[in-house]
Structure 1
Amino acid sequence: VIINVGGIKYKIPWTTLENCPLTRLGKLKSCNNYDEIMNICDDYDVSCNEFFFDRNPSAFRTIMTFLTAGKLRLLREMCALSFQEELVYWGIEEEHLEWCCKKRLRHKEEEAAEARLYEGEMVFSETTQCAFQDNSRLSLCMRKLRDMVENPHSGIPGKLFACISISFVAITAVSLCISTMPDVREEEDRGECSQKCYDIFVLETVCVAWFSFEFLLRSIQAENKCAFLKTPLNIIDILAILPFYISLIVDMVSTKSSSKPGGGAGNKYLERVGLVLRFLRALRILYVMRLARHSLGLQTLGLTVRRCTREFGLLLLFLCVAMALFSPLVYLAESELGAKQEFTSVPTSYWWAVISMTTVGYGDMVPRSIPGQVVALSSILSGILLMAFPVTSIFHTFSRSYSELKEQQQRAASR
């Protein structure tokens, strides 16, 4: 039988096609009339018994190799998704792909799915904006406000809004650092409030007011409120904002309770709650994660972590196995030191194993014997090798993710 694909002719024996009866070429043998043949191919020359297919000839060469030799691989010069369409057309199942090519195809499908999701969000945003297009002044203000808050590249107002938000994040981080100074902590423990303490409180109040205002604007514009609240950055905003308001309420309640007679038990309870609130107020440092809204690098980092969960899991597995191996060895090697022994048990040796394999080396636990030092050397060398295995894959994923996000950002800015 003669198969003409994209102007290139192939002579294939019918016996080869009999091995793959479910493929498009295999179905040609079961055709009994001209109409059935035309349902499978694009054209047919009865005189030459030649079947014409208007498809990619490069992809068909790979499919021919699979039909004759049983090996199916992706083409480097061809998009993996386009080759997937060719497989669907010719009736070849993806399970026949080699494992490396199948992995490449899966990665490409994930990237395409993320791109479609991003495009869908952009189309939805544009559709929402078009829905408000009328002559009213309110709708015009809403469109400008939406662009300013959600798209920093929309113009000068968007860039100014992003700069203000970043400035408040930086101020919050600095105020948190200042509030941990010893003199401020002593005044807080004594229940006193100097001018410095008052200034920090005012600064924190202004920052939280801005973050609350920004969160309110974003929630008003969100079409799906549930999806908005499930977004990781919005969850971080809630965890960072709520402790401030809760602490204000608790302070008001504690002030009223202390002024009432017999409020000792209530004050003890409020003191315990105050310890929890002190921890919650430390969550203000989560505001630093808000920089991901305006930083392409942080967005790339988050996308890389999400895409490389398998690699990070593999790295953690390597670390746990090596830790379980070297901790008992160093404990046994150091057990002869008696009273000077720093490795008192295997669980306490876990800390030393992790610090050694990650090449940090605090020096709080040091093997003294020669066998222990040999184990330490083996632990350090194995840690360097184990850490290097997944790093290459993570680096390539980071580079690819950065290129994709940068391209999406440029495409969004050009609209």
Structure 2
Amino acid sequence: MWTIPKPRYGSRGQGEITVNIGGVRVALCGDVLKRYPESRLAQLAKLAKCSSAQNEPLLASLCDDFDLGRGEFYFDRDPDAFRCIVDGYYAGQIHIRGGICPVCFVEELHFWKMEQGALDECCKSYLSEKEGELREIAGKVKAILEDAELERGATSGAGSYQRFQSFLWRLIEKPDSSLGARLVAVASFLFVLLSAAVMCAGTLPELQVSVGEDGGPGEARPRAEHPALEAMETACMSWFTAEYLLRLASSPDKWRFALSFLNLVDLVAIAPFYLVLALTYLGTASVLELARAQQAVQAHRGLGHCGWRQLFAQAIQQRPTELTDKLEATGVGWAATST
């Protein structure tokens, strides 16, 4: 057991109060408690100085019980967490000791009316990491509950279309739900790699072909991707398009799906390919200009795979500043290579 400092019941110091936290008695100096004047203990010490019958209702609102004759105030709280908080009054910063649940400690801070800004910097980072882990766990639990709700809806009086919709949603969006879903996820990932490889290979002059008519003297003929690369690119975009449409068709909430940020990114990544085809058919732009416009959006296509989309969302939540810096650097690289 511990005491900070050892209580003196016979001759109490000026402004000193004794608190009993879960059976552990601690004597506290009122001057030290003034470090955080808005805290529960500081308010208690201020009222204890001028104890009277009028102050008893206020004292009762600040503690679980009290004995004015002994000058002792009782709290049914965690003594280990309280020790960390008391150290903050003496040291100026609160440090979370090992073995204390961070969620419970935040509740203790709120009870004692202490701000999280009083925590040591290392403890602030520790709490942020734990809060992120808890949000991730909560998201997984929510996803499991949604899957269970879809499963119940698909098996309890639902028609064949609803059952097929639920099956298709799990097949495309839940890689861990079945062997078929894993195979679909692997296939999507392979198409992502193939699309990236085609994008890189299309920039090599050895794999480009000349298009259009001969230019004037000293002018080089325009060059475009090799037809074989275009065929592979078309196959990749056909897979991404089919995947997006199937996900949209099987989504339980189509408006929410369509307006989701990452799904909008998927749509923006797919749409330019068909814009290029339309402009080529209409003959409103040169092949070279269309190829450059298409290359400007090819880097987004990796987000078409559900696993890449989840990693991207986690990166935004956990490291927003670092991700912004990296995206800025990537944007400068794109601008340099496209000119």
Q: TM-score range by the shorter chain?
A: 0.5 to 0.7
Whether contact under 8 Å (1:24, 1:40) holds in the other structure is yes
* Deviation per residue, 1:95-151 (Å, 9 max, x gap): 333444445444544554555455445545544554555332222211111111111
- Measured after TM superposition, the shift of residue 59 of structure 1 is 1.6
Normalised TM-score (structure 1): 0.57
* 2:201 matches 1:185: no
Q: Which residue of 1 aligns with 2:261?
A: 231
Counterpart contact for 2:240–2:304, Cα < 8 Å: no
Deviation at 1:89, TM superposition (A): 0.6
Question: What does 1:294-305 align with in structure 2 at a 5 Å threshold?
Answer: 294=307, 303-304=314-315
TM-score (norm. length: structure 2):
0.67
- For 1:10-409, list aligned pairs within 5 A: 10-13=26-29, 22-28=38-44, 30=47, 32=53, 37-44=59-66, 48-113=70-135, 115-117=137-139, 119-120=141-142, 122-124=144-146, 126-135=148-157, 136-176=159-199, 179=202, 182=205, 185-189=208-212, 200-220=229-249, 221=251, 223=253, 225=255, 228-232=258-262, 234-254=263-283, 270-271=285-286, 274-282=287-295, 283-290=297-304, 293-294=306-307, 303-304=314-315, 307-310=318-321
Q: Contact 1:148–1:154 at 8 Å: present in 2 too? A: yes
Separation in 1, partners of 2:256, 2:59: 53
Distance (whole Å) between structure 2 residues aligned to residue 12 and residue 299 of structure 1 = 50
Match for residue 390 of structure 1? none
Q: Which moved more, 1:15-24 or 1:67-76?
A: 15-24
Does the CA contact (< 8 Å) of 1:219 and 1:225 recur in 2?
no
Gap change, CA 1:41 and 1:245, over 3 Å in 2: same
Instruction: For 2:93 and 2:201, locate their aligned partners in 1 and report how far apart those are by CA, in whole Å.
Output: 65
In the alignment, the residues of structure 1 paired with residue 99 and residue 187 of structure 2 have an alpha-carbon distance, to the nearest angstrom, of 46
Q: Show the counterpart of 1:8.
A: 24
Equivalent pair of 1:80/1:108 in contact (CA under 8 Å): yes
TM-aligned CA distance change 1:238 to 1:314, over 3 Å:
closer
Structure 2: unaligned runs, 5 residues or longer: 1-16, 215-224, 330-339
Q: What amino acid does structure 1 have at the position aligned with 2:25? A: K
Task: Please report how far the alpha carbon of residue 214 of structure 1 lies from its aligned counterpart in structure 2 after TM superposition.
Answer: 0.6
How many residues end up aligned between the 2 structures? 293
Displacement of 1:51 in angstroms is: 2.9
Moved more, 164-173 or 304-313: 304-313
- Per residue, is there more helix in 1 or in 2? 1
Q: Percent identity?
A: 26
Looking at structure 2, the residues matched to 314 and 241 of structure 1 have their Cα atoms a distance apart, in angstroms, of 25
- Counterpart of 2:83 in structure 1: which amino acid? R
Cα deviations across residues 307-334 of structure 1 (Å, max 9, x unaligned)?
Answer: 4454678999xx9xxxxxxxxxxxxxxx
In structure 2, distance between residues paired with 1:110 and 1:162: 26
Please say if residues 198 and 229 of structure 2, whose CA atoms lie closer than 8 Å, have aligned partners that are also in contact. yes
SS at match of 1:52: strand
2:316 and 2:179 map into 1 onto residues whose CA distance is 32
Query: Quick one: distance in 2 between partners of 1:178 and 1:99?
Result: 48
Partner of 2:219 in structure 1? none
Q: What secondary structure sits across from 2:62 in the alignment?
A: coil
Asked whether the equivalents of residues 3 and 9 of structure 1 are also in contact (C-alpha less than 8 Å), the reply is: yes
Cα gap change, 1:190 to 1:61, in 2 (>3 Å): same
Deviations 1:381-400 (A, max 9, x none): xxxxxxxxxxxxxxxxxxxx
Shift of 1:172: 3.1
- TM superposition shift of 1:63: 2.0
CA contact (8 A) 1:45 1:51 kept: yes
Runs of at least 5 residues in structure 1 that lack an aligned partner in the other structure: 255-268, 320-415
The aligned amino acid for 1:247 is: V
Alignment root-mean-square deviation, CA: 4.0
**Change in CA separation of 1:225 and 1:74 when aligned onto 2, cut-off 3 Å:** same
CA apart distance, 1:215: 0.5
Q: In 1, are the aligned partners of 2:248 and 2:254 still within 8 Å (CA)? A: no
Aligned-partner residue type, residue 40 of structure 2: R
Once the two structures are TM-superposed, the CA of residue 159 in structure 1 deviates from its matched residue by: 0.8
Q: CA deviation at 1:85?
A: 1.4
Q: Which residue of 1 aligns with 2:332?
A: none
1:130-188, CA deviations, whole angstroms, 9 ceiling, x for partnerless residues? 45553322222111111111110101121121122223333434444565565763254
